[in-house]
């Protein structure tokens, strides 16, 4: 396929073919043309086919139609190309909370043939620096509210020569993105990118070590829209999406931008999306589809009566393992069965899941159409049903790290090896056991941290918990639990014993936490993932 990239940095730093996974394009919807631009498919197509007046983006005090988003993205694309000197293939760092201008900037980069490098809003200069260096970022579009940390990072990155700020309000000057947009045309001819031109670099939300850039093509974006959403979520054009994950996280990019726009629906973008803001947003905007993490679902379950009075009909959990106790709590509170799923930044989005009708407590689900999954031993041999092993996956998307030796670990024998320990039951359902590095080995027993967490969460006194293996001279490791109690519950020796007894009665007794520490809150990433390494540091 002829590439449209003038700057060949991304192509030059792809993993060699023998280190890439096998890609599967079995579904009819995955037969992509040689030339493909995802902005044409997800945005311009709706306007061209007469749906430009449909609402696309909603935010407090703001509504944009598909035609309005297209016009703004076109103007930004002109600014990128004609004022900032972007050529196809260059990397554009995007930095903003979830808001409509961030969405317009993302589509503008796609239209101009650039490569979007979206960053989490909470990142500091020290964390932005390696991203800028690894991706060799040359341009940036940044929300004015987050400008300071980027400016600090840019001082040490001479290659990042072009930065424009937006959403500065009355403080916006002549150099702002909005001012430049007024000088630009509202039409733009999209760059005729190849289906296998890289269009985004998504950095892993890993908790330790040097970040890894995952490379995704235009066809990967459209493949993600063609697999899980139509076969599991099944949204319609009248749905209103809402959620908490940042658009810089591929779970958020898919759930709050790509998937609604693939079917001509609308999405609500909230700059702050904790449980209180989500509850208010669901009610204010009439949201029907919710994407958030198990932690949020536990907090929102206390408002079941209010949620039952809204049009909310589909709720998706991902980002971390969904405890069976949380699934039950949500169903009892709202009457809605959670849709669980596991995805990975390396594969862009969800590849194992189950819809509401086929959901099973404690099970993630089955491979999404378009993907295959297996549980294997350390030698790569499939293990029998009921046996814990390593999860490996292949499909139309897969891991391509940008110039990173860790590619050899993630891709083995053509499969993506995700680092998750799973069990497959006799019916073919995949059950999460642990991250392979979260397995606790105590006195010869293998104990999965999430299983103990699930047992603790089923106790009425527990609001949140995190479980790790702590070093022990006699047993090698012991199970250690960090517990956040619900309001009104008292920590102490009696509570420790009550929780230990509860776990012994819920799962095998040897799995109970021999050490319990009560804390006010747990360390989590911005996407809601528990940062177990910080619990290890605390221990």
The torsion of the CA quartet 484, 489, 491, 496, rounded to 10 degrees, works out to: -80
Is 201 a residue whose pLDDT tops 90? yes
Is 90 a residue whose pLDDT tops 90? yes
Residue closest to 205 by CA, chosen among 120, 288, 117: 120
Is 502 a residue whose pLDDT tops 50? yes
Say what the pTM is.
0.86
Listed in order, the ranges of the chain carrying CATH 3.30.300.30 are 438-538
pLDDT confidence of residue 1: 65
- The mean-pLDDT minimum among 115-124, 201-210, 466-475, 480-489 falls in 201-210
Instruction: Measure the CA–CA gap between 343 and 356, rounded to whole angstroms.
Output: 18
Residue closest to 81 by CA, chosen among 101, 110, 41, 103: 110
Is 528 a residue whose pLDDT tops 80? no
The mean per-residue pLDDT over the stretch 165-169 comes to 91
Q: Please state which CATH number belongs to domain 438-538.
A: 3.30.300.30
Instruction: Measure the CA–CA gap between 100 and 276, rounded to whole angstroms.
Output: 21
pLDDT-derived band at 208, boundaries 50, 70, 90: very low
User: pLDDT tens across 107-159, in order?
Assistant: 999 999 999 999 999 888 888 999 999 999 999 999 999 999 999 999 999 99
Is 210 a residue whose pLDDT tops 80? no
Alpha-carbon radius of gyration of the chain: 23
Length of the chain as a residue count: 539
Instruction: Measure the CA–CA gap between 145 and 159, rounded to whole angstroms.
Output: 23
pLDDT confidence of residue 444: 67
Is 468 a residue whose pLDDT tops 60? yes
pLDDT confidence of residue 207: 40
Looking up tokens 């726009």 gives 261
Q: Which CATH class is domain 37-192?
A: alpha beta
Is 454 a residue whose pLDDT tops 60? yes
Is 206 a residue whose pLDDT tops 60? no
- The mean-pLDDT minimum among 68-77, 170-179, 244-253, 470-479 falls in 470-479
Listed in order, the ranges of the chain carrying CATH 3.40.50.980 are 37-192
- The mean-pLDDT minimum among 194-208, 394-408, 467-481 falls in 194-208
The mean per-residue pLDDT over the stretch 47-68 comes to 98
pLDDT confidence of residue 139: 98
């Amino acid at each position: 396929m002829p590439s449209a990239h003038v700057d060949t940095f991304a192509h030059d730093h792809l993993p060699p073919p023998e280190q890439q996974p096998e890609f599967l394009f079995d579904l009819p919807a995955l037969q992509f043309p040689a030339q493909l631009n995802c902005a044409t498919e997800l945005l311009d197509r709706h306007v061209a086919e007469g749906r430009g007046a449909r609402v696309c983006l909603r935010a407090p005090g703001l509504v944009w139609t598909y035609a309005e988003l297209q016009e703004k993205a076109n103007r930004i694309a002109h600014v990128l190309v004609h004022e900032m000197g972007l050529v196809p293939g260059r990397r554009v760092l995007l930095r903003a909370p979830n808001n409509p201008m961030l969405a317009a900037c993302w589509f503008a980069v796609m239209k101009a043939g650039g490569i979007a490098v979206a960053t989490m809003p909470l990142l500091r200069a020290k964390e932005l620096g390696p991203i800028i260096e690894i991706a060799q970022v040359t341009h940036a579009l940044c929300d004015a509210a987050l400008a300071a940390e980027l400016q600090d990072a840019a001082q040490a990155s001479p290659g990042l020569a072009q930065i424009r700020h937006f959403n500065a309000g009355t403080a916006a000057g002549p150099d702002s993105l909005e001012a430049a947009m007024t000088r630009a045309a509202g039409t733009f001819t999209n760059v005729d990118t190849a289906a296998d031109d890289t269009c985004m670099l998504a950095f892993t939300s890993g908790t330790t070590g040097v970040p890894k850039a995952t490379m995704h093509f235009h066809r990967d974006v459209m493949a993600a829209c063609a697999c899980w959403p139509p076969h599991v979520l099944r949204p319609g054009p009248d749905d209103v999406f809402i959620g908490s994950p940042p658009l810089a996280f591929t779970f958020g990019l898919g759930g709050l931008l790509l998937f609604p726009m693939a079917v001509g629906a609308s999405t609500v973008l909230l700059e702050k999306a904790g449980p209180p803001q989500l509850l208010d947003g669901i009610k204010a905007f009439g949201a029907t589809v919710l994407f958030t993490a198990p932690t949020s679902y536990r907090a929102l379950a206390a408002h079941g009566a209010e949620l039952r009075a809204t049009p909310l009909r589909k709720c998706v959990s991902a980002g971390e393992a969904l405890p069976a106790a949380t699934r039950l709590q949500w169903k009892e509170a709202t009457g809605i069965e959670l849709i669980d799923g596991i995805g990975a930044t390396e594969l862009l989005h969800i590849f194992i899941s189950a819809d509401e009708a086929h959901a099973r407590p404690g099970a993630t689900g089955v491979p999404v159409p378009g993907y295959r999954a297996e549980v294997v031993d350390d030698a790569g041999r499939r293990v029998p049903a009921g046996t814990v092993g390593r999860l490996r996956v292949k499909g139309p998307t897969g891991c391509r790290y940008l110039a990173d030796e860790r590619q050899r670990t993630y891709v083995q024998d053509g499969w993506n090896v995700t680092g998750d320990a799973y069990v497959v039951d006799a019916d073919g359902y995949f059950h999460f056991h642990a991250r392979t590095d979260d397995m606790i080995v105590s006195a010869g027993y293998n104990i999965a941290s999430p299983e103990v967490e699930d047992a603790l969460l089923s106790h009425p006194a527990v609001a949140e918990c995190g479980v790790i293996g702590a070093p022990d001279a006699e047993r090698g490791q012991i199970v250690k639990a960090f517990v956040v109690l619900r309001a009104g519950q008292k920590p102490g020796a009696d509570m420790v014993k009550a929780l230990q007894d509860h776990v012994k009665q819920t799962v095998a007794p040897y799995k109970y936490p021999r050490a319990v520490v009560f804390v006010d809150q747990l360390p989590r990433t911005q996407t809601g993932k528990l940062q177990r390494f910080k619990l290890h540091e605390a221990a």
